[in-house]
Chain A
Amino acid sequence: MTVSAVRVRRPPRPGGPPGRRGRFGVHAFLLAVSLAFLAPLLLAVYASLRPYEETARDGYFSLPDRLSFDYYRQAFTDSGMGRHFLNSLLITVPGVLITLFLASFTAFAVARLRLRGSLVLLMVFTAGNLLPQQVIVTPLYALFNKVPLPYWMSDSLTLYDSLWAVLAVQVAFQLGFCVFVLANFMRTLPPEILEAAIVDGAGVWTRYRHVTLPLCRPALAALGTLQFTWMYNDFLWGLVFLSTGDKLPVTSALNNLRGQFFTDHNLLAAGSVLVALPTIVVFLLLQRHFIAGLTLGANKG
């Protein structure tokens, strides 16, 4: 229905200057959709600032008697969100760095070294990233239970129920996407630069670290921001490979705010806003990189 509404108001001629009415229609439509898209978020923020009794009595669409950050304090202290934020940080930051490092070298080897079988390698990584996560859960669960770790690395003495498990899976799983994107990007770099380096006698490492990598900075920035959200937002791995509640990353720990018999929805709203905040801030700050990250892979061909 919205489609036809827009079509009617479209400028009469393609290429010509769009008429004012057409512009207005498009704006009205885009504004309506944008507000509809924002509304749930705004509602969550509003609810999180009001006491539950108040919304229970007057409903969500009422003017507030009192606004406060009490729920945020409560979410932080009572359910130990600080601890869970730290867990997320411990997984996400090394995860992104390791993934980018390993993926950039693999992509370099695939795209720039002309090794035999590099196409097969690229396919293995790309397809691996497209597999449904649930397919690999069971064997990994069994495997992680069998891999011993010393006490200083994991108090469960196995890879299972340690942040290492989540970190390892994140890196392995996300490698595929990063290799794919970076290999595509590196193919667009001029080959002459590399040839010059070879003539100068540069080894593989130098060609990777000092010739190719600096040119990949935009791609790495884009992927880094994208990977940050994906790893931070992950829900399943934390749930499956960690059994101690204290070790959960913040996204998986959101569930803790739900009471067994009574759920304070405003507290949940505060928790959701808290969890969403880092990615939203990162998105708004690094918007350009985000969008580039998504489109680097899509825009080739």
Chain B
Amino acid sequence: MNRTTGGRPVTPPKTVAPRPARRRGPRRHTRRDLAVLCVLLGLPVLLDLALVWGPTLASVALSFTTWDGVGDIRWAGLGNYADLFADYPRFWPAVRNNLLWLAALGLLATPFGLLLAVLIDRGVRFSRFYQSTLYMPVVLSLAVVGFIAQLILSRDQGALNALLGRQDNPVDWLGDPDLNIWMVLLAACWRHTGYVMILYLAGLKSVDPELKEAAAIDGANERQAFFRVVLPALRPVNVIVGVITVIEALRAFDIVYAVNKGRNGLELLSVLVTDNIIGEASRIGFGSAIAVVLLLVSLGFIITYLVQELRGEQRR
């Protein structure tokens, strides 16, 4: 192994030099171990890089081109972005709707889910029933939720118009572009509430009851104890709920697509991306620019979250 070339002294191969062990204990991995590691660690890493991170970077690159999916890829600089912000009539409504989605999930569904979790956690009877019922919508696909929404909200035979006695003068809940986004948001909140509730329910179970007792002894009323003691103790759950809420708001797609393919008042960034890529237009460069906008917003939250995680890691 130790071949010399031209009489020059050869620096010993790196593997020979004993590396200071980073940790006492296990001997180095055997060849078989390395093979197992290479295959079973390599495969998922490869999959993740090839099908998630690679495409993400490619999307960023494509957003600077005018590619139609077939012809040559031509560089367009910031052209797509300029078009997007200035000339694409569906863009700003979509941004607005995504923000509304975020506000609805974050300001309505999340506190409501927390309230339900707190009530159920106080040990009422039938809590299992309540818990299952409230969580049930979460296991439905958003597409199914979209169709059920139509059943209730459609103009002519919808249940809501019947309930309100408005068959003669029906409200077009899903067709009216000023109205439909609110209806769809209601359906989205229906699902999100149960999701948030379960997360908080688990979090509440893990809060040390002594904390609450101590707060009570110190003279805190129930409300103070909750906001000053319990909620701060739930910080890891709060972080998860926050991230899930933001990501769900940005990813929202299925409901509006099931209702009317995301047109006529139900525009969302995710729908615009899909339309530009698989629609008739096939403006892939342009669609990618929209995707990158979505990505940048998400990344802000992802990075915040990862920093939190990292801090937790160091404390461990």
Contacts and interface: CB of A to CB of B under 8 A. Distances in A.
Given A30-B120, A109-B37, A134-B274, A171 B62 contact: no
Nearest to A207: B33
Contacts, number: 322
Contacts of B173: none
Nearest to A109: B41
Which applies to chain A's interface (DSSP): helix, strand, loop or mixed? helix
Interface string B72-89: 000000000000000000
A33 B143 CA distance: 23
B171 interface: no
Contacts of B130: 30-31, 33-34
A123 B306 contact: yes
Given A172-B52, A176-B48, A297-B240, A37 B141 contact: no
Interface of B: 22-23, 25-26, 29-30, 32-33, 36-37, 40-41, 43-45, 47-56, 58-59, 62, 69, 115-116, 119-120, 122, 124-126, 129-137, 139-144, 147-152, 154, 157, 159, 162-163, 167, 190, 194-195, 198-199, 201-203, 206, 212-213, 216, 220-223, 225, 235-237, 240-241, 243, 247, 250-251, 253-254, 257-258, 269-270, 273-274, 277-278, 284, 287-288, 291-292, 294-295, 298, 301-302, 305-306, 309-310, 312-313, 316
A205 interface: yes
A124 interface: yes
B119 A236 contact: no
Contact of B269 (A134, A254, A287, A290): A134
Interface stretch (A65-73, A149-157, A211-219, A272-280): A272-280
Closest 4 pairs between A and B when the two form their complex, measured CB to CB: A295-B202, A233-B141, A301-B236, A172-B51
Contacts of B69: 141-142
A41 B136 contact: yes
Contacts of B157: 55-56, 59-60, 265
Interface in A14-30: 14-15, 18, 23, 26-27, 29-30
Contacts of B199: 294-295, 298
Given A121-B45, A134-B273, A283-B139, 15 more contacts: A30-B120, A60-B157, A109-B37, A127-B306, A130-B243, A138-B58, A138-B59, A138-B291, A142-B284, A172-B51, A187-B316, A198-B25, A204-B32, A251-B143, A280-B140
Nearest to A60: B159
Contacts of B47: 102, 168, 171-172, 175
B202 A27 contact: no
A6 interface: yes
Contact of A298 (B52, B124, B135, B203): B203
A136 B152 contact: no
Contact of A232 (B50, B141, B162, B190): B141
Given A127-B306, A240-B274, A235 B119 contact: no
Contacts of A269: 147-148, 151
Nearest to A173: B52
22 contacts: A15-B213, A18-B122, A30-B120, A34-B134, A37-B136, A59-B159, A61-B159, A128-B48, A130-B298, A168-B51, A172-B47, A175-B48, A198-B26, A205-B33, A235-B141, A236-B253, A265-B157, A287-B132, A294-B199, A295-B203, A298-B236, A299-B236
A257 to B, nearest CB: 8
B302 A139 contact: no
Contacts of B241: 298
Given A34-B130, A137-B291, A251-B144, A15 B302 contact: no
Contacts of B270: 132-134
Nearest to B221: A14
B29 to A, nearest CB: 6
A37 B190 contact: yes
Contacts of A189: none
